[in-house]
Amino acid sequence: MIQPATRRQSPPQASIPKQFKFEQPKSPPIVVNFTGGEVTSDAGLGLIAELDRKLQITSRLALCFQDYRQINRMLHPIESLIAQRIYGLVMGYEDLNDHEELRHDPMFAIALQKRIGRENKPVILAGKSTLNRLEHCPEDVEQGADSRYHKIGHCSSGIESLFVNIFLESYSKEPQKIILDLDVTDDLVHGNQEQVFFNTYYAGYCYAPLYIFCGKHLLAAKLRPSNVDPAFGALSELQRVIKQIRQQWQNVEILVRGDSAYSRDDIMTWCESQTGVDYVFGLAQNSRLIQMTTTTQNRASLEYEQKLSTVVSFLETVFKPEYQLSEVASDLINNSIWYKSLDYKTRESWSRSRRVVCKVEYGVKGTNIRFVVTSITTNKMAPGELYTQKYCPRGEMENRFKEQQLELFSDRTSTHTFAGNQLRLWFSSIAYVLMNALRSKCLAKTELQNAQVGTIRTKLLKLGALITVSARRILIAISSSSPSKHIWAAAYRCLKMLPNTA
């Protein structure tokens, strides 16, 4: 006779002790328990939520989305989903998986204006599956009310315009001059994402997103495949951004800046055709340019040798002859640097002759020559001033890339579709916009005014606190020994003085 299969019983869950005790020699015992109540490690999120409420950043981003879900079956509105996703990035939670735990976090519930402590029911925010529907951008599946799975879409042009609008609002009045920085970075991927190619320059499979910044303000973040020209799409993005700026600021002078990847005839010709738009781009050296700087190279080397000879003659009166006086003297003098303006035109690729500024540096290691091409005339700016004050500061843009990738996870482009990864890049970019607004509007007179996003998060936002809910109020009690409480208080004062964006 065949016996029926018995159901396998899972072992009973071990009961958790009320407390844990550690004996310490010559000191009172240490007792640990889990009766601390509602505790959060993200107490500073309240600053971000209030700043977002005043500037209406995530709420305006939500207006760029189309939500075709049925209202009577919808637990989490689109505004709440977007704010939760952005706040997660701001607070250092890079993946959707993190939101499985965050959906029960009281601090996130408070930031999203959810009721907590009601009828002893735990608050439930959106989990990873719900948020995934927000980011899900299928290739061939229909979108809209008739779609079974993809009922949330987005307007790319609306999102792109929002970045420029937020930048324009950050000024109380029209500035006289602004500088727009163009640059591209690598976004390494490790899967079968759409439009991913191997790039020999970056030595890996990656995307090559194009960014436009004005100082620390982000104006554009365009995801691109890595098999395209470095300047691919740069002109169209530049035209779009400047057109939107000109609609509000008619008289501002604009300088477009970038490395040698953008010294292309179409970009320079367009800038030259615009009123109040100049450019300065790096320019790759070639034999003709090197030959045109022969006289400047000779002058730089002669000046350096004269300085070296003078110092060596002095050292000979102090040290014995067997010392390597030339090596000692080279450490005591600066390299000789000369600048010169050239009139240059390529044989085929440029449609006209343009001003090129060369920097010739001569030192113990020999000659180092760099070139930039610009539309700024010689009578407006000397070559040395143009190179050092207008072109060289573009290196600061590398810090913006570090903030985006290392601290706000813009490189988490791990969905299959290209459109989905572009949306993830925009979410990371909006998180950066929020953090930069906190830095510029609330931390301008504090020690964090020039701090990077990760430092601001660690010192000001990732604060432990005990949350107590009563009928009268919600108390978030941060440690009284917090070293950042004076900065927090200064940020709060600035935040309360900000007007609401209508």
* 73-116 pLDDT, tens digit each: 888 999 999 999 999 999 999 999 999 989 989 999 999 998 87
Task: Identify whether residues 83 and 124 lie together within a single domain.
Answer: yes
192: amino acid identity, one letter: N
Rounded CA-CA distance 158/353 in Å is 39
Residue 382 token pair: 């000397």
List residues bridging with 467 in a β-sheet: 38, 476
pLDDT tens string 421-436: 999 999 999 999 999 9
Q: 287: which DSSP letter?
A: H
Does some domain include residue 419?
Answer: no
| In a shared domain, residues 333 and 274 | no
Q: Beta partners for 179?
A: 255
**pLDDT value for 185:** 94
Q: What is the pLDDT of residue 119?
A: 55
233-275 pLDDT, tens digit per residue, is: 999 999 999 999 999 999 999 999 999 999 999 999 999 999 9
DSSP codes of every residue in 240-251: HHHHHHHHH-SS
DSSP of 228-279, one letter per residue? S-TTTTHHHHHHHHHHHHHHH-SS-EEEEEE-GGG--HHHHHHHHHSTTEEE
Q: Looking at the structure, do residues 209 and 148 belong to the same domain, yes or no?
A: no
185 and 212 share a domain? yes
> How is residue 222 written in tokens?
């365009």
Segments forming the whole domain that contains residue 53: 39-154+427-446+465-494
pLDDT at residue 148 in the model: 67
| Residues 93, 180 within the same domain | no
Same domain, 305 and 259: no
Q: Do 318 and 365 belong together in one domain?
A: yes
- Strand, helix or coil for residue 201: coil
Contacts of 308 (CB under 8 A, 6+ apart): 326, 329, 330, 333
Measure the CA–CA gap between 258 and 394, rounded to whole angstroms: 7
Q: Each residue of 420-439: b (16+ CB within 10 Å) or e? A: bbbbbbbbbbbbbbbbbbbb
Are 273 and 343 found together in one domain? Answer: no
Examine the domain organization and report whether 279 and 298 are in the same domain. no
Cα separation of 160 and 148, whole Å? Answer: 28
Q: Is residue 174 part of a domain?
A: yes
Tell whether 456 is covered by a domain: no
- Same domain? For 52 and 139 the reply is yes
What's the CA gap between 457 and 452, in Å, rounded?
A: 9
- Residues 154-162: what's their mean pLDDT? 95
Please check whether residue 499 lies inside any domain of the structure. no
Residue 437's identity, in one-letter code, is A
Q: Would residue 60 count as lying in a domain? A: yes
Number of domains comprising the chain: 3
Instruction: Report the predicted TM-score, pTM, of the whole model to 2 decimal places.
Output: 0.90
Residue 265 and residue 171 share a domain: yes
For tokens 């209406």, the residue is 56
* 163 & 269 share domain: yes
In a domain, 2, yes or no: no
What is d(CA 411, CA 449) in angstroms, rounded to the nearest whole number?
26
Q: What is the pLDDT of residues 394-421, one digit of tens each?
A: 999 999 999 999 999 999 999 999 999 9
Tell me, yes or no, whether 414 lies in a domain.
Answer: no
Please report whether residue 457 resides in a domain. no
| 23 confidence band (pLDDT: 50, 70, 90) | confident
Q: Angle CA(229)–CA(427)–CA(70) in degrees, nearest 5?
A: 125
- Which CATH number fits the domain that encloses residue 217? 3.30.420
